[in-house]
Amino acid sequence: MENNKATLGEFIIENQKHYKSTTGEFSRLLSSIKLAAKIVNHEVNKAGLVDIMGAAGATNIQGEDQQKLDVYANDVFMKTLINREIVCGVASEEEDDFVTICGKDGSNQNKYVVLIDPLDGSSNIDVNVSVGTIFSIYKRVTPIGAPVELKDFLQPGNQQVAAGYVVYGTSTMLVYTSGYGVNGFTLNPALGTFYLSHPEFRFPENGKIYSINEGNYVHFPQGVKDYLKYCQEEKEDRPYTSRYIGSLVSDFHRNMIKGGIYIYPTSFIGPKGKLRLLYECNPMAFLAEQANGTASDGYGRILDIEPTELHQRVPFFCGSKNMVAKAEEFMAKYPEDADY
C-alpha cells in the first residue's frame, strides 16, 4: 500500500518548487528533525521496559519538574541539529537560553533557527498516553555569518517558515506546514520511513468538542466560564463533548480531524497562561491557520503577538474557526482580562 504513497523525503523535494531560491538547506533541516523524531519514537516505545519513566530529579527554566524522557528527547534533538550544522541557532523549552551554532572558523552560513518543545505532554508517558514534539522554524534576521542573537528567536509567529509536530501514539505521525497547507506522514516502523497518509488536513469550520482542563474552572476568567456554560447548554446543536488529554499535540491533532476547540486560558493560578508562545502556541497557530482553523489569545491573533521573552507564556484558544470566534465573543465582554 505504501508503494503508492509519497515518502516524507520525496514530498519535501517535490515541494521545493514553492521556493524560488532553494539551496537544499531547508530540506536537510526537515530531514534532521525526521531523524531525531525516529530516535525519540524508538525510546518512547520502550517505556516500561527500560528506566526512562518518571521524574529526572531536575527542573527546567519554567520551574517544572523534568521527566527522564524530557531530558532524553531534548538531548537527541539538540545534538542532531547542532552536530549536523544545518542551522545557526536552536532554542528549546528545556534550555535556559538559546544555543548558537558556529562552524570551525567561528562563523555560520546557515540561515534558519529552530525553536522546539522536545517532548510535549511528557508527564503522560508513565500512563501510556500519547506525547509529542513541536517545532518551529524561522529565517534569521541577523546577518549570515555572524552569531545569532536573541532577536532571531523573538520574531512574531507570522514570520515562521515552517512548523510542525510529531505525535507518538498508536501510530507515529509527523505533521507539518511550510505555508502551503498541512500534511501528515505516518511512520512505518518496519521500514523506518514516513509515508504521506493524511494529505491536506483541514479543520471543520464547526465542531462539537471542547478541550480544556475543567478542574481549574474556579480559577478561569469570566469569559471562559461563560463560554463553557454555552458549550454545555441543551440546545439543538449542543451540548458539546468535553475531551481533554492533557497533551497539546494529541488534543490539537484530534480536534483538527474531528472539529473542536482547545483552550488553555489565563487563571488566578497562572495569570499569563501556561503554554509558551514560541515553542507551542506559534507553531500550533501556524498549523491551525494553514488547516482552515484559527488561533487566538482570546482577544486577537496569536501569530501577530510580538514576543518579548524566550519563554513567554500566553493564553491559547485554537481550533475550528466558528468555535474560536464564539469564544472570543464571550471574552470581549471582559476586556479587563486582556491585560494578562
- Binding residue ranges: 93, 117, 119-123, 213, 244, 274, 280
DSSP label at residue 169:
S
DSSP-derived secondary structure letter, 278? I
**Which helix (H) or strand (E) is 59 found in, with range?**
strand 55-59
Whole-number Cα distances in Å, 221 to 113, 285, 312, 330, 332: 35, 22, 20, 10, 12
* Phi–psi pair at 193, nearest 5 degrees: -125, 140
Element (H, E) at 190: none
Non-local (6+) Cβ contacts of 329 within 8 A are none
CB 114 within 8 A of CB 137: yes
Tell me the C-alpha to C-alpha distance, in Å, between residue 117 and each of 38, 151, 220, 309, 318: 16, 19, 25, 16, 18
Residues 6+ apart with CB under 8 A from 94: 60, 61, 66, 70, 71, 74, 118
Annotated binding residues for substrate, written as ranges, equal 120-123, 213, 244, 274
Pairing of strands 172-177, 131-139: unpaired
Q: List the binding residues for Mg(2+).
A: 93, 117, 119-120, 280
State the number of CA atoms in the 13 A half-sphere of 286 facing the CB: 29
